[in-house]
Amino acid sequence: MPLTPLDLITLEERSDLASQLMAEWWINAVETLVDSVGSERTLELLRPHFVHGGRASSHVIRDRLGWRDTDLKTMSTQLSFMHYLLRRNRGQILMRGDEEAMITFDECALEGQPVEGCVSLCYFTTLGTVEETNPRYEGDLPRLRKNGDPFCAKRVRLKGAPNIPESDPRWKSVEVEYPEMSLEERNYFSCAYLGESWLMGTRALIEAMGAKEAVTRSSQGMRTRGMTYGATWKIKLGLDDDASGAATLIDFFNTVLGQNGLPLRHDDSRPGKVIGECPFSGAMPEACAQVEAFFDGVCHEFQPELRFHYTRMLSKGQDSCGWVIERA
Protein backbone atom coordinates (compact mmCIF):
# COMPACT_ATOMS: atom_id res chain seq x y z
CA MET A 1 0.00 0.00 0.00
CA PRO A 2 1.52 3.38 -1.01
CA LEU A 3 2.35 5.94 1.66
CA THR A 4 -0.09 8.79 2.30
CA PRO A 5 0.92 12.34 3.35
CA LEU A 6 -0.05 11.49 6.91
CA ASP A 7 2.55 8.72 6.89
CA LEU A 8 5.27 11.28 6.20
CA ILE A 9 4.91 13.25 9.43
CA THR A 10 4.92 12.26 13.08
CA LEU A 11 1.89 12.48 15.33
CA GLU A 12 3.48 15.43 17.11
CA GLU A 13 4.02 17.27 13.81
CA ARG A 14 0.42 16.58 12.89
CA SER A 15 -0.74 17.94 16.25
CA ASP A 16 1.40 21.04 15.89
CA LEU A 17 0.12 21.67 12.36
CA ALA A 18 -3.52 21.57 13.47
CA SER A 19 -2.83 24.14 16.19
CA GLN A 20 -0.74 26.27 13.81
CA LEU A 21 -3.61 26.46 11.33
CA MET A 22 -6.08 27.48 14.05
CA ALA A 23 -3.62 30.08 15.34
CA GLU A 24 -3.11 31.54 11.85
CA TRP A 25 -6.86 31.86 11.32
CA TRP A 26 -7.31 33.54 14.71
CA ILE A 27 -4.47 35.98 14.03
CA ASN A 28 -6.01 36.81 10.65
CA ALA A 29 -9.33 37.67 12.32
CA VAL A 30 -7.62 40.02 14.79
CA GLU A 31 -5.51 41.70 12.11
CA THR A 32 -8.60 42.21 9.97
CA LEU A 33 -10.45 43.78 12.89
CA VAL A 34 -7.59 46.13 13.75
CA ASP A 35 -7.12 47.19 10.13
CA SER A 36 -10.86 47.77 9.72
CA VAL A 37 -11.99 49.41 12.98
CA GLY A 38 -8.84 50.25 14.92
CA SER A 39 -7.30 48.91 18.12
CA GLU A 40 -9.70 50.39 20.68
CA ARG A 41 -12.82 49.21 18.88
CA THR A 42 -11.27 45.77 18.32
CA LEU A 43 -10.73 45.31 22.05
CA GLU A 44 -14.24 46.56 22.76
CA LEU A 45 -15.69 43.99 20.37
CA LEU A 46 -13.56 41.07 21.57
CA ARG A 47 -13.83 41.65 25.31
CA PRO A 48 -17.31 40.20 26.01
CA HIS A 49 -16.60 37.11 23.91
CA PHE A 50 -13.33 36.29 25.68
CA VAL A 51 -14.53 37.10 29.19
CA HIS A 52 -17.39 34.68 28.58
CA GLY A 53 -14.94 32.22 27.03
CA GLY A 54 -12.79 32.38 30.16
CA ARG A 55 -15.83 31.61 32.30
CA ALA A 56 -16.82 28.64 30.15
CA SER A 57 -13.32 27.20 29.75
CA SER A 58 -12.74 27.33 33.51
CA HIS A 59 -15.53 24.77 33.95
CA VAL A 60 -14.23 22.56 31.14
CA ILE A 61 -10.70 22.40 32.55
CA ARG A 62 -11.75 21.99 36.16
CA ASP A 63 -14.19 19.20 35.29
CA ARG A 64 -11.62 17.41 33.14
CA LEU A 65 -8.92 17.56 35.82
CA GLY A 66 -11.17 16.99 38.80
CA TRP A 67 -10.20 20.23 40.52
CA ARG A 68 -12.71 21.26 43.16
CA ASP A 69 -10.74 23.72 45.29
CA THR A 70 -11.00 27.44 44.52
CA ASP A 71 -8.04 28.66 46.56
CA LEU A 72 -5.35 30.91 45.13
CA LYS A 73 -2.84 28.13 44.45
CA THR A 74 -5.37 26.04 42.54
CA MET A 75 -6.48 29.02 40.44
CA SER A 76 -2.86 29.86 39.63
CA THR A 77 -2.16 26.28 38.61
CA GLN A 78 -5.25 26.35 36.40
CA LEU A 79 -4.20 29.57 34.63
CA SER A 80 -0.71 28.21 34.10
CA PHE A 81 -2.01 24.92 32.72
CA MET A 82 -4.44 26.68 30.35
CA HIS A 83 -1.49 28.62 28.97
CA TYR A 84 0.28 25.31 28.37
CA LEU A 85 -2.72 23.89 26.51
CA LEU A 86 -2.44 26.72 23.99
CA ARG A 87 0.96 25.23 23.04
CA ARG A 88 2.96 27.51 25.29
CA ASN A 89 5.04 26.87 28.40
CA ARG A 90 3.43 26.45 31.80
CA GLY A 91 5.18 29.36 33.45
CA GLN A 92 6.47 30.03 36.96
CA ILE A 93 4.20 30.78 39.91
CA LEU A 94 4.98 33.27 42.68
CA MET A 95 2.61 33.72 45.62
CA ARG A 96 2.25 36.17 48.48
CA GLY A 97 0.29 34.28 51.11
CA ASP A 98 -3.31 33.85 50.04
CA GLU A 99 -3.60 37.43 48.82
CA GLU A 100 -1.84 37.45 45.47
CA ALA A 101 -0.21 35.23 42.86
CA MET A 102 1.79 35.99 39.74
CA ILE A 103 2.22 33.51 36.90
CA THR A 104 5.05 34.51 34.57
CA PHE A 105 5.78 33.28 31.03
CA ASP A 106 8.90 33.94 28.97
CA GLU A 107 7.84 32.27 25.72
CA CYS A 108 4.73 32.09 23.58
CA ALA A 109 3.69 30.05 20.55
CA LEU A 110 1.62 33.00 19.29
CA GLU A 111 4.40 35.56 19.00
CA GLY A 112 3.05 36.70 15.64
CA GLN A 113 -0.33 37.86 16.91
CA PRO A 114 -1.13 41.55 17.37
CA VAL A 115 -1.13 42.94 20.90
CA GLU A 116 -4.94 42.96 20.75
CA GLY A 117 -4.80 39.18 20.43
CA CYS A 118 -2.59 38.90 23.51
CA VAL A 119 -4.96 41.08 25.52
CA SER A 120 -7.95 39.00 24.44
CA LEU A 121 -6.45 35.53 24.95
CA CYS A 122 -4.62 36.33 28.19
CA TYR A 123 -6.24 39.32 29.91
CA PHE A 124 -9.92 38.98 29.02
CA THR A 125 -9.96 35.20 29.54
CA THR A 126 -8.14 35.61 32.87
CA LEU A 127 -10.82 38.07 33.98
CA GLY A 128 -13.56 35.57 33.17
CA THR A 129 -11.75 32.56 34.63
CA VAL A 130 -11.00 34.19 37.97
CA GLU A 131 -14.44 35.78 38.34
CA GLU A 132 -16.11 32.45 37.65
CA THR A 133 -13.84 30.37 39.89
CA ASN A 134 -13.66 32.57 42.98
CA PRO A 135 -15.33 36.03 42.94
CA ARG A 136 -13.32 37.07 46.02
CA TYR A 137 -10.36 37.49 43.65
CA GLU A 138 -9.71 39.47 40.49
CA GLY A 139 -7.37 38.81 37.59
CA ASP A 140 -5.30 41.01 35.34
CA LEU A 141 -2.27 41.10 33.04
CA PRO A 142 0.35 43.43 34.58
CA ARG A 143 3.20 42.41 32.27
CA LEU A 144 3.18 41.94 28.51
CA ARG A 145 6.15 41.20 26.28
CA LYS A 146 4.44 42.96 23.38
CA ASN A 147 4.68 46.16 25.44
CA GLY A 148 8.41 45.75 26.03
CA ASP A 149 8.36 43.78 29.28
CA PRO A 150 10.89 40.93 29.61
CA PHE A 151 8.06 38.45 30.25
CA CYS A 152 4.29 38.18 30.35
CA ALA A 153 2.51 37.80 33.67
CA LYS A 154 -1.01 36.91 34.74
CA ARG A 155 -1.99 38.04 38.23
CA VAL A 156 -4.68 36.88 40.63
CA ARG A 157 -5.26 39.14 43.60
CA LEU A 158 -7.67 39.25 46.52
CA LYS A 159 -10.03 42.16 45.92
CA GLY A 160 -8.93 45.13 47.98
CA ALA A 161 -5.40 43.82 48.56
CA PRO A 162 -2.70 46.53 48.48
CA ASN A 163 -0.19 46.84 45.66
CA ILE A 164 3.07 45.13 46.64
CA PRO A 165 6.20 45.50 44.47
CA GLU A 166 7.62 42.41 42.85
CA SER A 167 10.84 42.90 44.82
CA ASP A 168 9.04 42.39 48.14
CA PRO A 169 10.55 39.42 50.07
CA ARG A 170 7.10 38.07 50.88
CA TRP A 171 6.83 36.71 47.34
CA LYS A 172 7.64 33.00 47.33
CA SER A 173 8.16 30.64 44.40
CA VAL A 174 5.63 27.81 44.41
CA GLU A 175 6.08 24.37 42.91
CA VAL A 176 2.88 22.72 41.72
CA GLU A 177 2.04 19.38 40.16
CA TYR A 178 0.48 19.38 36.73
CA PRO A 179 -1.76 16.59 35.50
CA GLU A 180 -0.55 14.18 32.88
CA MET A 181 -2.17 14.60 29.47
CA SER A 182 -1.57 12.67 26.29
CA LEU A 183 -0.46 14.41 23.12
CA GLU A 184 -3.81 13.57 21.51
CA GLU A 185 -5.77 15.18 24.33
CA ARG A 186 -3.52 18.19 24.50
CA ASN A 187 -3.96 18.65 20.78
CA TYR A 188 -7.72 18.41 21.18
CA PHE A 189 -7.79 21.16 23.80
CA SER A 190 -5.32 23.32 21.88
CA CYS A 191 -7.36 23.16 18.68
CA ALA A 192 -10.63 23.62 20.57
CA TYR A 193 -9.44 26.79 22.31
CA LEU A 194 -7.70 28.28 19.29
CA GLY A 195 -10.60 27.31 17.03
CA GLU A 196 -13.10 28.92 19.37
CA SER A 197 -10.89 32.03 19.50
CA TRP A 198 -11.01 32.23 15.71
CA LEU A 199 -14.81 31.85 15.75
CA MET A 200 -15.13 34.55 18.42
CA GLY A 201 -12.98 36.80 16.27
CA THR A 202 -15.27 36.05 13.33
CA ARG A 203 -18.34 36.93 15.41
CA ALA A 204 -16.70 40.23 16.32
CA LEU A 205 -15.98 40.91 12.64
CA ILE A 206 -19.64 40.33 11.77
CA GLU A 207 -20.75 42.62 14.61
CA ALA A 208 -18.38 45.33 13.40
CA MET A 209 -19.22 45.40 9.69
CA GLY A 210 -21.89 42.88 8.79
CA ALA A 211 -21.52 39.40 7.34
CA LYS A 212 -20.73 40.27 3.72
CA GLU A 213 -18.01 42.82 4.49
CA ALA A 214 -16.56 40.59 7.22
CA VAL A 215 -16.06 37.79 4.71
CA THR A 216 -14.64 40.10 2.03
CA ARG A 217 -12.05 41.64 4.32
CA SER A 218 -11.01 38.55 6.27
CA SER A 219 -10.75 36.40 3.13
CA GLN A 220 -7.91 38.51 1.75
CA GLY A 221 -5.56 37.55 4.57
CA MET A 222 -6.81 33.97 4.63
CA ARG A 223 -6.02 33.48 0.96
CA THR A 224 -2.51 34.86 1.48
CA ARG A 225 -1.96 32.51 4.39
CA GLY A 226 -3.20 29.62 2.27
CA MET A 227 -0.62 30.46 -0.36
CA THR A 228 2.14 30.34 2.26
CA TYR A 229 1.04 26.98 3.62
CA GLY A 230 0.51 25.62 0.11
CA ALA A 231 4.03 26.51 -0.95
CA THR A 232 5.60 25.05 2.21
CA TRP A 233 3.72 21.79 2.39
CA LYS A 234 3.73 21.09 -1.34
CA ILE A 235 7.52 20.85 -1.13
CA LYS A 236 7.55 19.04 2.22
CA LEU A 237 5.23 16.32 0.94
CA GLY A 238 6.74 16.15 -2.55
CA LEU A 239 3.45 16.79 -4.39
CA ASP A 240 3.05 17.38 -8.12
CA ASP A 241 2.17 20.85 -9.41
CA ASP A 242 -1.31 19.97 -10.63
CA ALA A 243 -4.92 19.80 -9.46
CA SER A 244 -4.44 16.32 -8.08
CA GLY A 245 -1.51 17.50 -5.95
CA ALA A 246 -3.54 20.44 -4.66
CA ALA A 247 -6.45 18.14 -3.80
CA THR A 248 -4.12 15.75 -1.97
CA LEU A 249 -2.77 18.59 0.17
CA ILE A 250 -6.23 19.95 0.98
CA ASP A 251 -7.40 16.45 1.85
CA PHE A 252 -4.35 16.22 4.13
CA PHE A 253 -5.27 19.50 5.85
CA ASN A 254 -8.88 18.31 6.15
CA THR A 255 -7.77 15.17 7.97
CA VAL A 256 -5.38 17.05 10.27
CA LEU A 257 -8.26 19.36 11.26
CA GLY A 258 -10.71 16.52 11.85
CA GLN A 259 -12.75 17.18 8.69
CA ASN A 260 -13.48 13.61 7.71
CA GLY A 261 -15.34 12.31 4.68
CA LEU A 262 -15.27 10.22 1.53
CA PRO A 263 -12.08 9.62 -0.47
CA LEU A 264 -11.12 12.01 -3.22
CA ARG A 265 -12.76 11.43 -6.58
CA HIS A 266 -10.29 10.17 -9.14
CA ASP A 267 -10.89 12.90 -11.66
CA ASP A 268 -7.73 14.87 -12.31
CA SER A 269 -9.63 17.62 -14.11
CA ARG A 270 -12.05 18.29 -11.23
CA PRO A 271 -11.01 16.59 -7.97
CA GLY A 272 -13.22 16.99 -4.91
CA LYS A 273 -14.39 15.55 -1.66
CA VAL A 274 -17.51 15.11 0.49
CA ILE A 275 -17.09 15.84 4.22
CA GLY A 276 -19.60 14.46 6.68
CA GLU A 277 -17.81 15.28 9.93
CA CYS A 278 -16.27 18.66 10.79
CA PRO A 279 -15.49 20.39 14.12
CA PHE A 280 -16.85 23.63 12.65
CA SER A 281 -20.18 22.19 11.47
CA GLY A 282 -22.03 24.30 14.04
CA ALA A 283 -20.20 27.50 13.17
CA MET A 284 -21.47 30.39 11.10
CA PRO A 285 -21.18 30.15 7.28
CA GLU A 286 -18.88 33.19 7.33
CA ALA A 287 -16.24 31.04 9.04
CA CYS A 288 -16.43 28.44 6.27
CA ALA A 289 -16.13 31.20 3.67
CA GLN A 290 -12.78 32.10 5.24
CA VAL A 291 -11.65 28.47 5.05
CA GLU A 292 -12.69 28.47 1.40
CA ALA A 293 -10.41 31.47 0.80
CA PHE A 294 -7.54 29.74 2.64
CA PHE A 295 -7.81 26.60 0.51
CA ASP A 296 -8.15 28.70 -2.64
CA GLY A 297 -4.78 30.21 -1.73
CA VAL A 298 -3.37 26.70 -1.32
CA CYS A 299 -4.52 25.83 -4.84
CA HIS A 300 -2.94 28.97 -6.29
CA GLU A 301 0.49 27.73 -5.20
CA PHE A 302 0.06 24.64 -7.37
CA GLN A 303 -1.26 26.41 -10.46
CA PRO A 304 -2.53 30.02 -10.46
CA GLU A 305 -5.60 29.15 -12.54
CA LEU A 306 -6.84 26.54 -10.02
CA ARG A 307 -9.80 27.57 -7.87
CA PHE A 308 -11.21 25.93 -4.76
CA HIS A 309 -14.82 26.33 -3.76
CA TYR A 310 -17.47 24.67 -1.62
CA THR A 311 -20.54 23.21 -3.28
CA ARG A 312 -22.22 22.39 0.05
CA MET A 313 -21.72 23.46 3.67
CA LEU A 314 -22.67 21.83 6.95
CA SER A 315 -22.74 25.31 8.48
CA LYS A 316 -25.64 26.19 6.15
CA GLY A 317 -27.70 23.31 7.51
CA GLN A 318 -26.90 20.87 4.71
CA ASP A 319 -26.08 17.25 5.51
CA SER A 320 -22.47 17.43 4.32
CA CYS A 321 -19.77 19.69 2.97
CA GLY A 322 -18.57 19.28 -0.58
CA TRP A 323 -15.64 20.91 -2.31
CA VAL A 324 -14.15 20.86 -5.78
CA ILE A 325 -11.08 22.24 -7.50
CA GLU A 326 -11.68 23.68 -10.96
CA ARG A 327 -9.82 25.79 -13.48
CA ALA A 328 -10.77 29.42 -13.74
Supply the mean pLDDT for the chain.
91
Q: What is the mean pLDDT of residues 230-250?
A: 94
Q: Is 208 part of a structural domain of the chain?
A: no
CATH of the domain at 24: 3.30.1380.20
Per-residue confidence band for 169, with pLDDT thresholds at 50, 70 and 90 = confident
Q: Is 189 part of a structural domain of the chain?
A: no
Q: Is 106 part of a structural domain of the chain?
A: yes
The overall longest dimension of the chain from CA atoms, in Å, is 71
**Which of 3-12, 15-24, 219-228 has the weakest average pLDDT?**
3-12
pLDDT at 251 over 70: yes
Structure confidence by residue, pLDDT tens digits, 178-220: 888 888 888 888 888 999 999 999 999 999 999 999 999 999 9
* In a shared domain, residues 106 and 24: yes
Structure confidence by residue, pLDDT tens digits, 289-311: 999 999 999 999 999 999 999 99
pLDDT at 122 over 60: yes
Distance between CA 50 and CA 56 in Å, rounded? Answer: 10
Which residues, 6+ apart, have CB-to-CB distance to 72 below 8 Å?
A: 95, 98, 99, 100, 101, 137, 156, 158
Helix axes 72-85, 39-65, angle to 10 degrees: 110
Total-model pTM:
0.92
pLDDT at 224 over 90: yes
pLDDT at 1 over 60: no
- In which domain, by residue range, is 49 found? 15-183
pLDDT at 241 over 80: yes
Distance between CA 126 and CA 89 in Å, rounded? Answer: 16
* In a shared domain, residues 54 and 127: yes
Predicted local confidence at residue 112, as pLDDT: 83
- Are 187 and 256 within 8 A, CB to CB? no
Q: Is 138 part of a structural domain of the chain?
A: yes
At residue 90, the 3 state secondary structure works out as: coil
How many separate domains does the chain show? 2
Predicted local confidence at residue 178, as pLDDT: 81
* In a shared domain, residues 165 and 246: no
Q: What is the mean pLDDT of residues 20-42?
A: 97
pLDDT at 89 over 80: no
pLDDT at 280 over 60: yes
- Among 159, 183, 207, the domain boundary falls at 183
The winner for highest mean pLDDT among 55-64, 81-90, 204-213 is 204-213
% of the chain exceeding 70 in pLDDT:
97
Q: What is the mean pLDDT of residues 60-69?
A: 90
**Which of 10-14, 117-121, 146-150 has the weakest average pLDDT?**
10-14
